[in-house]
Amino acid sequence: MENGKKTLREIYGQPQVWRECLKTLDTLDLGVLVGDKAPQTCEWLFVGCGTSYYLAQAAAASLMSLLGVRARAVPASEILLFPRLVIPKDSAIFPVLISRSGHTSEVLQVAEFFNRYDVAFLAVTCDGRELQTMTPRTLKLPVEEESTVMTSSFTSMLMGLQYLSAYFAKQKEFIEGLKSLPEAVEKLLPIYAPQVEAFAQQTFEDVAFLAQGALYPIASETALKVMESSSSYAQFFHALEFRHGPKSIVAEKVLVGGLISESGYAQESAVLLEMKGLGGTTLAIANEISPAVRESADLAIELGLAAPELARLVAYLVWGQLLGSHLGLSKGLNPDEPRNLSRVVTIAGQG
């Protein structure tokens, strides 16, 4: 099979996978799944590793935005190494363990930890494996993903957790917004995917993705896709933080990608315009691209979605997934077999 074919197929196949996941979510009794752990009654603690940790961050931001309750995200390793830093002594938490494989050693160890202390938790997974046997509460998305790097599994599990949050917030229009994404993104792919592929033919000496709010974990995951799929370094920052030092990296062959929100558009787009002024190469992704950004950016991707702002997160990520794969391919690498990576991280002697 030619390089990257499997991963690219899964990236392009996301809209159809989202349709299937949304159909499944419509049939589930989410109230039973969560029981007396509704977000209004306890703090939800989202847990994952790697891509699934950024997913956890996006899910926590979504729950807080939709319900106005406290929610946090931590890497599984932090619970294992510094539980006192993560788990408050007196307040009730409801952990949500996120793992595509359900086989990642650190996540299984966290599941054992919570079971040992009788802390009920929700598992969110695609493959299931051991994780789904460790709790009676599992949200399993119908995603069959062969690629090493996570693409449709990330967007589908995030969509599932956003659906769950909107269910508790009784926000039917939010769920309808999620349901509008498959068709909308199917229309965007033929327009912008070729532009992303062409854009990826150039080499970059440094790469940084910028975002604020619930898009920040999407910028983090975008950077991770570039790192994993092209074995090149990429960073991520809160957009306005980039001025406070990191912008010293900006030069001609430095890519600065802005995942620009609607709410913070003026302030976030100003940073991207400034980086272009410093000689950087810029990529702008926004729901509506202003004339100034369209004029300035080297590549501007306009989503034009009718969905509520928070429901658009997964539609921002598709372009970074494609960029990572095409940067890898243009370097002669194979994104289907990323250097040094395996589909699941298991730690010797720990499952």
Q: Which of 337, 343, 346, 351 binds ligand F1P (CB under 6 A)?
A: 343
Q: Please state the closest distance from residue 101 (CB atom) to ligand F1P, in A.
A: 3
191 vs 347 by CB, closer to ligand F1P: 347
Tokens coding 311? 């429901």
Contacts of 289 by beta carbon, 8 Å cutoff, 6+ apart = 297, 300, 301, 302
DSSP-derived secondary structure for 304-343: ---S-GGGGHHHHHHHHHHHHHHHHHHTT--TTS-TT--S
Choice between 149 and 211, CB closer to ligand F1P: 149
List 51, 152, 212, 325, residue binding ligand F1P (CB under 6 A): 51
- Residue 230 as a binder of ligand F1P (CB under 6 A): the answer is no
Q: Is 101 in the site for ligand F1P (CB under 6 A)?
A: yes
Per-residue contact flags (x/-) with ligand F1P for residues 149 to 188, judged by CB under 6 A: xx--------------------------------------
Residue reference for tokens 């935005």? 65
Shortest distance, position 29 Cβ to ligand F1P, whole Å: 25
For the chain, what's the residue count?
A: 351
Rounded to 5 degrees, what are φ and ψ at 98? -110, 125
From residue 48, give the alpha-carbon distance in Å to each of 115, 150, 205, 287.
17, 13, 30, 28
Stretch that binds ligand F1P, among 23-31, 96-104, 202-210, 305-313 (CB under 6 A): 96-104
CA dist list (Å): 87 to 63, 68, 113, 117: 19, 20, 12, 12
Cβ proximity to ligand F1P, 104 vs 281, nearer residue: 104
Of residues 102 through 121, those in contact with ligand F1P by CB under 6 A are 104, 107
99 binds ligand F1P (CB under 6 A): yes
Q: Say which DSSP state 119 is in.
A: -
Q: Alpha carbon 126 to chain centroid distance?
A: 15
Q: How far apart are CA 18 and CA 216, in angstroms?
A: 22
The structure tokens listed for 126 are 């695609």
Stretch that binds ligand F1P, among 148-156, 191-199, 301-309, 327-335 (CB under 6 A): 148-156
Residue type, 162: Q
* Under 8 Å between Cβ of 96 and 121: yes
Q: Does 132 bind ligand F1P (CB under 6 A)?
A: no
Q: Is 46 exposed, middle or buried (0-12, 13-18, 19+ CB in 10 A)?
A: buried
List binders of ligand F1P among 241-300 (CB under 6 A).
none
Q: Is 227 in the site for ligand F1P (CB under 6 A)?
A: no
Binding mask 10-49 for ligand F1P (x = CB under 6 A): ---------------------------------------x
Rounded Cα distance, 241 and 226, in Å: 21
Is residue 80 near ligand F1P by the rule CB under 6 A? no
Stretch that binds ligand F1P, among 247-255, 270-278, 287-295, 343-351 (CB under 6 A): 343-351
Question: Which ranges in 127-168 belong to alpha helices (H)?
Answer: 129-133, 152-168
Residue 100, interface with ligand F1P (CB under 6 A)? yes
The footprint of ligand F1P on residues 301-330 (CB under 6 A) is: none
Chain contacts with ligand F1P (rule: CB under 6 A): 49-52, 99-101, 104, 107, 148-150, 228, 343-345
